[in-house]
Amino acid sequence: MRKNIVAGNWKMNLNYADAQSLMYQLLEYKKNNQTNCEVYIAPPSLYLTKAKDIFENGEIGIFAQDVSEYQSGAYTGELSVDMLSSININGSLVSHSERRLYHGETDSHANRKIKNLLDKNLTPIYCNGENLDQRKNGDYLEVVGNQTKTALFTLSAEEIKKVVIAYEPVWAIGTGETATAEQAQEVHAFIRDLIANQYGKEVADEISILYGGSVKPENAKEIFSMPDVDGGLIGGAALKIEDFSKIIEGFN
């Protein structure tokens, strides 16, 4: 059975004191509230070890925001899978839309990163999605389909079941454009059908597919009620305990 997940991507935000404060607020929230989903955070890499210390009992999953496609070597500024594994990080985001936009990442890069993570029994959260032109041109399903096939379809059935997918309609993130719950459901169902056609329905039904298109406290419950939406990858709203907790409660 696939998991319901709410994951907070902190991006390049919060100084150390503010990051610690938010972590302790999250810890207190988790201790005092029953949640109907797993909760993950992806803080800046500088704070990963502190996050593991604070959530020492595994109350919240700790993820990196990115990982190298290489095992080791002269790659200044990169983090290897082995480094993440050595400090017991749960996994990493892979090919977030901002990594694609600002760093030229492709789904071939994503494929190598995903394989590296799986080799160390870490969880990849693979991000895909179309931009505004691709949405308006009606090419969005083809785009998402090609991304998914390139990044994931070299995996075995057992491997792909360990991947979490986050669909990010880039056109609905910080642009003023808004995606409806029905638009999210359409693409999530398409991704699940694509996987079912390749690996079988039983495999597809085990994979959590998160929505990453500006989930807010006001729309979380409606979006999470869609049959193929298994949670959210949250950006700005993950930086405030009041907003993040209300999104988590979208599963209540």
Closest CA to 48 of 82, 80, 8, 90: 90
Residue 61, annotated ligand binder? no
pLDDT (average), residues 224-233: 97
Specify whether the CB–CB gap between 3 and 37 falls below 8 A. Answer: yes
What percentage of the chain reaches a pLDDT higher than 70? 98
- Catalytic residue IDs: 96, 168
Distances (CA, A) of 22 to 8, 27, 28, 29, 117: 12, 9, 10, 10, 27
pLDDT at 162 over 70: yes
Residue 214, annotated ligand binder? yes
Residue 236, annotated ligand binder? yes
Residue 11, annotated ligand binder? yes
pLDDT digits (tens, 9 = 90+) for 66-108: 999 999 999 999 999 999 999 999 999 999 999 999 999 999 9
Q: What is the pTM of this model?
A: 0.97
The CATH number of the domain where 52 resides is what? 3.20.20.70
pLDDT digits (tens, 9 = 90+) for 209-223: 999 988 999 999 999
Residue 216, annotated ligand binder? no
| Location of structure tokens 């109350």 | 59
**SS3 per residue for 213-243:** CCCCCCCHHHHHCCCCCCEEEECHHHHCHHH
The residue type at 97? S
Residue 9, annotated ligand binder? yes
Q: Which domain holds residue 30?
A: 5-251
pLDDT at 176 over 70: no
Please enumerate in sequence order all residues whose Cβ is within 8 A of that of 142, keeping only pairs 6 or more positions apart, or say none. none
Phi/psi zone of residue 121: left (φ > 0), alpha (ψ -120 to 50 degrees), beta? left
pLDDT (average), residues 109-114: 98
Domains held by the chain: number: 1
Residue 13, annotated ligand binder? no
